[in-house]
């Protein structure tokens, strides 16, 4: 199972702690983490995962795989800038959004448009025509986020890289 964790490349300490805890929890459950591979939330989730023996994949915006944070096991250099955001979420069966800026917002949009569930920790809220849209599943902590993501990802096993492994 692959779960994407998305968030800004620079983040407050509170978000970094959340991301690290999410990484630890995902690794304990044997989930592969895919992210944008840089710092901030991405670095923290990878650090947490590696502390518990997890596997991390970083889809990088640039052409140099050495730009990945030190906890990325599999760096994938794309050279496509923010276009890599689509690859991050489309490779996962669920997405956990932690904080984030406009890049995170684009990933949320790609996931929702593709029917991939998005679990939110202190992240964006959406509205349409002045009315809140509850497309992002709100949770309060790392354990809730991981439990919800895994539960929903099991319903989406037919999507993404995981389905290729079973063929």
Bridge-partner residues for 75, per DSSP?
Answer: 58
The number of folded domains in the chain is 1
97 pLDDT above the threshold of 60 = yes
Using CB atoms within 10 Å of the CB of residue 133, give its burial: 0 to 12 exposed, 13 to 18 middle, 19+ buried.
exposed
> Which pLDDT belongs to residue 94?
98
Q: Domain range holding 90?
A: 2-165
Bridge-partner residues for 112, per DSSP?
Answer: none
pLDDT digits (tens, 9 = 90+) for 123-167: 999 999 999 999 999 999 999 999 999 999 998 765 444 444 443
Element (H, E) at 161: helix 160-165
Cβ-contact 136, 123 below 8 angstroms: yes
Displacement of CA 74 from its chain's centroid (Å): 15
Give the mean pLDDT of the chain. Answer: 93
Cα separation of 157 and 147, whole Å? 15
Cα separation of 46 and 79, whole Å? 21
Q: Which DSSP state fits 31?
A: P
Cα separation of 137 and 73, whole Å? 29
- Token look-up 């991301």 returns 19
Q: Which CATH number covers residue 105?
A: 3.40.50.450
Cβ-contact 3, 96 below 8 angstroms: yes
Cα separation of 166 and 13, whole Å? 39
- Extended strands (E) in the chain: 2-6, 32-35, 56-60, 74-77, 94-98, 118-121, 126-128, 131-133, 136-138
> Which pLDDT belongs to residue 64?
96
- Name the pTM for this structure: 0.92
Q: What does the block give as tokens for 112?
A: 């929702």
70 pLDDT above the threshold of 60 = yes
Question: If we measure between CA atoms, which residue out of 86, 130, 134 comes closest to residue 111?
Answer: 86
> Which pLDDT belongs to residue 167?
34
53 pLDDT above the threshold of 80 = yes
């Amino acid at each position: 199972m692959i779960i994407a964790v998305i968030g800004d490349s620079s983040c407050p300490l509170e978000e970094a702690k959340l991301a690290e805890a999410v990484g630890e929890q995902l690794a304990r459950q044997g989930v592969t983490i895919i992210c944008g591979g840089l710092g901030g939330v991405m670095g923290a989730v990878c650090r947490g995962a590696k502390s518990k023996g997890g596997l991390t994949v970083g889809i990088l915006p640039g052409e140099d795989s050495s730009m990945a944070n030190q906890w990325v096991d599999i760096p994938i250099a794309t050279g496509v800038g923010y276009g890599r955001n689509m690859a991050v979420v489309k490779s996962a069966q669920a997405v956990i959004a932690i904080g984030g800026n406009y890049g995170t917002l684009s990933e949320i949009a790609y996931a929702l448009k593709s029917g991939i569930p998005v679990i939110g920790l202190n992240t964006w809220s959406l509205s349409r025509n002045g009315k809140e849209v509850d497309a992002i599943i709100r949770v309060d902590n790392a354990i809730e986020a991981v439990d919800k993501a895994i539960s929903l990802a099991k319903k989406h096993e037919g999507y993404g890289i995981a389905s290729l492994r079973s063929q």
